[in-house]
């Protein structure tokens, strides 16, 4: 009787668990699925009442107008899309690379070295994550203006570093702390310096966490909108999130082109997440346990 009750509870638990997982899946994927459906719809299909879940006349013309049409045959915003894509890619790659190099060295110092003010410095870095961007935009804008970096990609790189670098340090510290210090000590006994032990012993062990952190840093930089909106105004430095908003501002509420741009902009992060998903999962679990 007890075994039967336990088995019944187990089945109910699994049913509830799968039902909740399905609801979360729908909640996460439904907006993106609608984004994709809208991007291949015509205006007539999208504005039809009652609403259609699937377009009657699906088309890829929206993608062609953004990716292949010249400025003479499409809107100014669409013609700027490819340039903004390259701006976003350049800024995201540079910011991610700098954050990894500086962040790894800072993380190692916080995790392994003992120096005066270590905890204060670390919590000061974490405090940067708690400040809302709207509270920082005016002083950051004035600094950028004084340095004559307004409307330049370098200004975006410097500003993005101010909030992505603390994130990288915070995440990577968990991975470094989880590596037994005995491995590093053994390498140093064998003749390795601190730097060589870090590069050849600790980094390979923390590779899964490093891959996950790299992806998250890239996505944070790629998706950033608020600072790009305030610090850029021309095609020389406009990023993709900024340009996508112009589909619904300068030329009216063009929901179809906005959806098309959103799908294209989502491809790099989505592809990175799909390719390196095993590193993300293993990296998150590795950083959760110390020792």
Report whether 77 contacts 69 (CB < 8 A): no
Enumerate the domain spans of the chain: 2-46, 73-286
Burial (CB < 10 A; 0-12, 13-18, 19+), residue 152, is middle
Distance of CA 199 to the CA centre of its chain: 26
Residue 264's nearest CA partner among 37, 51, 66, 92 is 66
pLDDT of residue 193: 77
pLDDT of residue 130: 81
pLDDT, one tens digit per residue, over 65-101 is 787 765 544 456 667 888 889 999 999 999 999 999 9
* Residues whose CB is less than 8 angstroms from the CB of residue 5 and which lie 6 or more positions away in sequence, other chains included: none
Among the residue ranges 98-112, 115-129, 144-158, 240-254, the one predicted with the least confidence is: 240-254
| Helix (H), strand (E), coil (C) string for 132-194 | CHHHHHHHHHHHHHHCCCCCCHHHHHHHHHHHHHHHHHHHHHHHHHCCCHHHHHHHHHCCCCH
73-286 topology per CATH = MetI-like fold (1.10.3720)
Q: N- to C-terminal Cα distance for the chain?
A: 42
Q: Is the pTM of this model over 0.85?
A: no
pLDDT, one tens digit per residue, over 216-229 is 899 999 999 999 98
């Amino acid at each position: 009787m007890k075994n039967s009750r336990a088995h019944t509870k187990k089945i109910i638990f699994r049913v509830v668990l799968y039902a909740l997982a399905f609801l979360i899946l729908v909640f996460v994927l439904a907006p993106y699925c609608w984004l994709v459906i809208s991007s291949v719809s015509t205006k007539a299909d999208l504005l039809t009442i009652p609403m259609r879940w699937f377009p009657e006349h699906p088309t890829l013309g929206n993608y062609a107008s953004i990716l292949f049409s010249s400025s003479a045959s499409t809107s100014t915003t669409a013609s700027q899309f490819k340039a903004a894509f390259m701006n976003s890619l350049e800024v995201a790659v540079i910011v991610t690379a700098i954050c990894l190099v500086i962040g790894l060295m800072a993380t190692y110092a916080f995790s392994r070295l003992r120096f005066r003010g270590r905890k204060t410095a670390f919590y000061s870095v974490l405090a940067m994550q708690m400040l809302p961007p709207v509270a920082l935009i005016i002083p950051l804008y004035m600094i950028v203006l004084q340095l004559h970096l307004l409307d330049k990609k370098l200004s975006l790189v410097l500003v993005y570093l101010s909030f992505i670098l603390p994130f990288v340090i915070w995440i990577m510290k968990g991975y470094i702390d989880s590596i037994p210090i005995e491995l590093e000590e053994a390498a140093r006994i064998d003749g390795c310096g601190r730097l060589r032990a870090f590069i050849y012993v600790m980094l390979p062990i923390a590779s899964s966490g490093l891959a996950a952190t790299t992806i998250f840093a890239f996505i944070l930089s790629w998706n950033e909108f608020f600072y790009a909106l305030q610090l850029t105004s021309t095609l020389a430095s406009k990023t993709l999130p900024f340009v996508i908003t112009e589909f619904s501002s300068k030329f009216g509420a063009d929901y179809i082109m906005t959806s098309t741009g959103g799908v294209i902009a989502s491809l790099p992060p989505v592809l990175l997440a799909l390719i390196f998903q095993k590193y993300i999962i293993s990296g998150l679990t590795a950083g959760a346990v110390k020792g």
